[in-house]
Structure 1
Amino acid sequence: MLLATPPTGKKRVSLRSRVTMLAASCVAGAVALVSLGAYLTVKENLYQQVDDSLRQKAQDTVQSEWIAQTPSGDVPVGLLGVSGVEVALVSPDGSILFGDPRNLPPISSAELAVVHESDHSNIRTDQKKDSRVVSVAYQGDVLVIAQSLDPTKKQLGDLALVLFLIGGAGVVVAAVAGTAVARTGLAPVQRLTRATERVARTGDLRPIQVDGDDELARLSHSFNLMLGAVANAQMRQRQLVADAGHELRTPLTSMRTNLELLLAAEKPDTPQLSEADKVEIHSDVRAQLDELTQLIGDLVELAREDAPPLTYEAVDMVEVVEQALARARRRAGEVNFEVELHPWFLLGEPHTLERAVLNLLDNAVKFSPAGGTVRVELRPAADGYAFLQVADAGPGIKDADLPHVFDRFYRSDEARTLPGSGLGLAIVKSAAERHGGAVFAGRSADGGALIAMRLPGSSEPIL
């Protein structure tokens, strides 16, 4: 047996690794989205808090009653209470009225223009000092307050580090969990793979163990059913070959004996056969050839019956039975036929059905006494089925033989002395089952055998 080898070159990633990577990727994507959303939300809130805090400090300063009572032109000493920020009071021409020269807030035209703006306030980000600057109008001047963004950015950096560490831990946990799930969940697949490799390597068709009732368990169960079907087909094939060899051995041995006897009689200085003996041997050889021909034909037909179904066509069973009857009458001798046929149509293979009907008729003729009657009836039954019954007046079928009459190569004790291969009724059974029907055996009203074939169809022609 030649085993297919996987292509070499690029190394394939196992299904377990793909499941692990998929789980880790999904968790990583989810963590990344959640972390990004959390980071952006916190960032927006922190910057908004800085802006709100600066605006609130500026408004509290300019609206303070104590500062408002400070005489114009004097230094508003209350501004010294604004801690944690850089503060300056600037005139519209840009001169510093108040502020620590070592710690002045950024001042630009945007702050000086506040005096002329309608809302008398402005807020912006100074890129050079990386600070947030708010300016408000104050008694014709401009109050400028700035706060560094370094603490805020440090908080955001700490948050990003925490989210990264948590996200990385989540990915690692997801990878470990994915590996565990893949190892546990794909165990049936691994058993199935090992079983497939075992079958391909050794031909061992033993079923595999099935646990659970999930999709993988059902797949394993289906694989076991397939193994059972293959094992059954293999067993039937071996049995067919063994039975065929057994059936062929007898006529071949007898024919060989007769031929060797004829050849030996032709040698000089050997006893000569009489003409009567020669005629008898010739008759035996012809009979054995006929037996071999019939056996080989039955084997070919049975192999054809086991083949996949062909394209079916509309079949008139009355016409099929009449054609089989015409062939059976030519070799029936003194046996008579009593026929009652009712219209019946189905989709099927005419040749297969005709061969099955002919086998039924030949079987009935073979066991019928001289002058006996074979009754053939095709009658519709309920539920869309019809029965084709063939009954003879022969010795009938013993109760012990009834379960086996449709087995391949099975022949009762009475039939062993008669010509035949033991495949005729097996072909009938196979043909009926290929057309969705069944076969039955019993005793006829005359005491002989009754063989019935049930076929689906309709009493109306199929268009």
Structure 2
Amino acid sequence: MRQPSRMTVRARIALLAALCVAGAVALTSMGAYLTVYRSLYEQIDDNLGSRAANALTTPGLTDSPSGRIPIGFLSLTDVQYTVIDDRGTIVFDIGQPKPAIGDAERRVAQRQQRNSIRTDERTDSRVLAVPVPGASEDLALVVGQPLGPTRDLLNDLAVVLLVVGGLGIALAALAGAAVARASMRPVQRLTQATERVARTGDLRPIPISGDDELARLTQSFNTMLGAVQAAQEDQRRLVADAGHELRTPLTSLRTNLELLLAAEAPDAPSLSDKDKREIYADVRAQLDELTQLIGDLVELAREDATASVWEAVDVGEIVEQALDRARRRGSDLHFQVWVQPWVLIGDAAGLERAVLNLLDNAIKFSPPGGTVRVRLGPIGDGFAVLEVADEGPGISDEDLPRVFDRFYRSPEARTLPGSGLGLAIVRQTALRHGGEVLAGRAPEGGALFTLRLPGVPA
């Protein structure tokens, strides 16, 4: 089934401009026509009224072919007029065209109303009736003027308004189309850039011109492109680093397994029980390293995604839960703890993993019998700080800028178990919750990690 074509934004703008101008032109034309219409009819009524008044107030009589008539009637020769009695009978006729006579005029002659003025549709004329003062019987002067010239003038005005209005609407549509074409050009560039990104994956920024809303939209789109490009770079770097880190334990596993299989082959020298135990221990260690590395990679991928459940979380309770697990791993260490309740909206599982990573890092580098200091409390600006300090060798100045990079391990840490992802997970969790994490030196001489999180006291 063929989909109906949709009107483009450019066509909508042009149509909207034309409709707005059409509405304005229609209202203006209607107002102008009605104003002229009323003015012309008022002029006719005023003219008929003044002519009738002058005819009735001018004294004297004069001779005419039909007899003696009031001198004032001579001023009515260019309009239709006559005199009727109270029965509507014409009592004065000089042989010229007469205005229409109806009930309204008879009522004036009968003195039932002061005067009347109306439009007679049959003769298409304007008819005025006024009583004749001082007559021996009830009479009325009826004056009429044809409306043909007036209607012709109004028709001409309507045609002019229609033509001018139509031209104005057409010009408005053309101007709207031109404005739409110019204003939509940046949007077209954005559309082409989006199609280019979808087609080729090219994330080059779009040139920006001007400082209007569309320029800001282009800037926002360029920012988005930069974020997508950075995310792609992070993804490629993560895959490359993960492949590099997985290669070492997999190679070691393959070597040990090939050695064990070779020892089982016929006529092959057998391995001693001690060698087998060392190989088995090495295999278990490599499997543990692979398990931890894969778990950290899964956790890091989960941290990059949006958490499925965000709820009110007491960071103090999370720290206590992480300490319970950390004490089992560092049974020979002393933990100095000072924790105040602190509530935020976040991912409880992710926060606990981040806190446990900080504690595991402190346990890993602490000397036997050392002290791990854990402190959580507000700092007065809507944030709380979790500090984890140890008495280990600390972090060198060269390593400080890179301790939170993925897979980064200092020379001292490469001999210890770990994947190099624990602190990267801590940083991801902090950023996802609107906080930050910093590394430095503790007064005890070891490492000090500070996790800053927003929230409120419980």
Cross-structure match for 1:345: 342
Q: CA–CA distance in 2 between the matches of 1:280 and 1:104?
A: 136
Cross-structure match for 2:31: 37
Q: CA–CA distance in 2 between the matches of 1:415 and 1:226?
A: 37
Q: CA–CA distance in 2 between the matches of 1:84 and 1:105?
A: 12
Structure 2 SS opposite 1:209: coil
Cross-structure match for 2:45: 51
User: CA shift at 1:214, angstroms?
Assistant: 3.7
Structure 1 SS opposite 2:443: coil
Distance 1:426 1:30, change over 3 A: same
Cross-structure match for 1:229: 227
Q: Does 1:258 align with 2:252?
A: no
User: CA shift at 1:376, angstroms?
Assistant: 3.4
Q: CA–CA distance in 1 between the matches of 2:101 and 2:382?
A: 101
Q: Does 1:16 align with 2:19?
A: no
Distance 1:84 1:445, change over 3 A: same
Contact 2:387–2:451 (CA<8 Å) still a contact in 1?
Answer: yes
User: CA shift at 1:316, angstroms?
Assistant: 5.1
| Correspondences of 1:81-160 after superposition (within 5 Å) | 81-90=75-84, 94-95=89-90, 97-100=92-95, 103-108=97-102, 110-118=104-112, 121-138=115-132, 139=135, 140=137, 141-160=139-158
Contact 2:84–2:109 (CA<8 Å) still a contact in 1?
Answer: no
Q: CA–CA distance in 2 between the matches of 1:79 and 1:353?
A: 109
Q: CA–CA distance in 2 between the matches of 1:380 and 1:48?
A: 85
Q: Does 1:66 align with 2:49?
A: no
User: CA shift at 1:446, angstroms?
Assistant: 4.0
User: CA shift at 1:408, angstroms?
Assistant: 0.9
The amino acid of 1:61's aligned partner reads A
The amino acid of 2:32's aligned partner reads A
Q: Does 1:178 align with 2:176?
A: yes
Q: TM-score, normalised by structure 2?
A: 0.89
The amino acid of 1:448's aligned partner reads G
Deviations 1:160-187 (A, max 9, x none): 1111121112111211221122122222
The amino acid of 2:182's aligned partner reads T
Q: CA–CA distance in 1 between the matches of 2:353 and 2:343?
A: 16
The amino acid of 1:87's aligned partner reads Y
Structure 1 SS opposite 2:414: helix
Q: TM-score, normalised by structure 1?
A: 0.88
The amino acid of 1:314's aligned partner reads V
Cross-structure match for 1:281: 279
Distance 1:111 1:368, change over 3 A: closer
Contact 1:388–1:452 (CA<8 Å) still a contact in 2?
Answer: yes
Q: CA–CA distance in 2 between the matches of 1:18 and 1:378?
A: 59
| Correspondences of 1:412-423 after superposition (within 5 Å) | 412-423=410-421
How big is the alpha-carbon RMSD for the aligned residues of Structure 1 and Structure 2?
Answer: 2.8
Distance 1:84 1:382, change over 3 A: same
The amino acid of 1:56's aligned partner reads S
Cross-structure match for 1:79: 73
User: CA shift at 1:91, angstroms?
Assistant: 5.5
The amino acid of 1:195's aligned partner reads A
Q: CA–CA distance in 1 between the matches of 2:381 and 2:100?
A: 99
Q: Percent of aligned pairs with the same residue? A: 58
Deviations 1:373-419 (A, max 9, x none): 43334454343444333333333212111011011111112222222
Distance 1:359 1:120, change over 3 A: closer
Contact 2:59–2:71 (CA<8 Å) still a contact in 1?
Answer: no
Cross-structure match for 2:311: 312
Structure 2 SS opposite 1:206: coil
Structure 1 SS opposite 2:93: strand
Cross-structure match for 1:4: none
The amino acid of 1:402's aligned partner reads L
User: CA shift at 1:209, angstroms?
Assistant: 3.3
Contact 1:130–1:149 (CA<8 Å) still a contact in 2?
Answer: yes
Q: CA–CA distance in 2 between the matches of 1:442 and 1:77?
A: 120
The amino acid of 1:336's aligned partner reads L
Deviations 1:421-450 (A, max 9, x none): 001111222233333332121223343322
The amino acid of 2:341's aligned partner reads W
Distance 1:298 1:327, change over 3 A: same
Distance 1:67 1:231, change over 3 A: farther
The amino acid of 1:97's aligned partner reads F
Deviations 1:126-152 (A, max 9, x none): 323212222334434443332111111
Question: How many residue pairs align between the two structures?
Answer: 450
Q: CA–CA distance in 2 between the matches of 1:382 and 1:76?
A: 107
Q: Unaligned stretches of 5+ in structure 2?
A: none
